[in-house]
Amino acid sequence: MSATADTHHRSRFISIHCPNHEDRNPSAWRNLDTGAEGCRKPSCGYRLPGDPGPVARATLAKVPDSVANPRECLDEITIAEVTTPCDQNTLVELMLAQRGIDTGTAFELGLRARRIRGEDWLVFVYRDSLGRPLYLKHRKADGSKRSMFRYPSRVESALFNLPELAALADNDEPMVVEGECDVAALYQVNVRGVVSVPDGAGSRITDALLAPLFRFPRILIGTDCDEDGERLACALVARLPHAQCRRVNWRSA
């Protein structure tokens, strides 16, 4: 393929992560002119209307995966296409109810549901401070903590609920908790300005992850009071200015 032709096709097609299965490396394509999509894996069969045909697909297969930017592949249309509201999935609705979270709260926080190959997943939409979608974190609706994945997979971690954090005044006191369901439970009792680390107590804590918190004069650390939660609290305090941190001690009602 000549350099001219290669440039032409890169302007029309990109490689994307397939929304039909866990996809560490982009295995699907999107036609930027027609909006058509499809997966290169024969066993998948994912297609959206407007398939440009076998000739265009053969050309696309030669486009390097490096052309794609995973952050640009996730948009509101894709989220609406691959997920459903939580109240349309019985298992996800039950999972939330067991944690005291109603579907109204789930809707307000943008929690979604998804079924993949007969399995149900609770989906957390991670967004940047401006509300733009970054990635979808999937958690098995049967509560298996180890059954999680992201789509797209190759995206930098972020705090969950960043848009609400961005809306706080500089003198407000945000709280950092251990998981997204903790954010939802506190939201339901009218506690606002709460964010969670991306991967529970085992999250990798970096300056870049916590940067949105640095402007606040006081930060509440609301991780669990068990051994893992205390370890996470110490990791957060080590990265945040000590004078700004206050530990929340949770007690049973």
Query: Which CATH number belongs to the domain containing residue 218 in this structure?
Result: 3.40.1360.10
Residues 55 and 108 in one domain: no
Q: Indicate whether 56 belongs to any domain.
A: yes
CA-closest candidate to residue 182, choices 92, 101, 88, 244? 101
Q: Are 131 and 74 in contact (CB under 8 A)?
A: no
CA-closest candidate to residue 157, choices 200, 190, 115, 192? 200
Look at residue 5 in the predicted model and tell me its pLDDT.
31
Greatest alpha-carbon pair distance for the chain in Å reads 70
Instruction: Look at residues 36, 68, 100 and tell me which one is the last residue of a structural domain.
Output: 68
Instruction: Look at residues 68, 99, 114 and tell me which one is the last residue of a structural domain.
Output: 68
Please tell me the number of Cα atoms within 13 Å of 28 on its side-chain side.
28
Could you tell me which residues are beta bridge partners of residue 28? Answer: 16, 39
Residues 88 and 31 in one domain: no
Residues 146 and 221 in one domain: no
Residues 200 and 133 in one domain: no
Q: Are 53 and 33 in contact (CB under 8 A)?
A: no
Residues 169 and 234 in one domain: yes
The residue-averaged pLDDT of 15-31 equals 75
Highest mean pLDDT (candidates 76-80, 142-146, 217-221, 247-251): 217-221
Q: Indicate whether 74 belongs to any domain.
A: no
Residues 182 and 242 in one domain: yes
Instruction: Look at residues 40, 68, 96 and tell me which one is the last residue of a structural domain.
Output: 68
Mapped onto helix, strand or coil, the DSSP state of residue 166 is helix
Could you read off the pLDDT of 30-71 as tens digits, one per residue? 766 667 677 766 567 677 655 444 544 444 444 333 333 434
Q: Are 181 and 99 in contact (CB under 8 A)?
A: yes
Q: What is the pTM of this model?
A: 0.70
Residue 83 pLDDT exceeds 70? yes
What domain range is 166 assigned to? 162-247
Residues 102 and 146 in one domain: yes
Residue 172 pLDDT exceeds 50? yes
As given in the structure block, the two tokens for residue 227 are 């051994």
Residues 189 and 210 in one domain: yes
**Number of residues that make up the chain:** 253
Q: What is the DSSP string of 69-127?
A: -HHHH--HHHHHHH-EEGGG-HHHHHHHHHTT--HHHHHHTT-EEEEETTEEEEEEEEE
Identify each DSSP E strand in the chain by its residue range: 13-16, 28-31, 37-39, 84-85, 112-116, 119-127, 133-140, 148-151, 175-177, 194-196, 219-221, 245-247
Give the CATH number for residue 107: 2.20.25.180
Number of compact structural domains in the chain: 3
Residues 168 and 229 in one domain: yes
Q: Indicate whether 113 belongs to any domain.
A: yes
Q: Indicate whether 200 belongs to any domain.
A: yes
* First and final C-alpha spacing in the chain: 68
Residues 179 and 231 in one domain: yes
Residues 168 and 109 in one domain: no
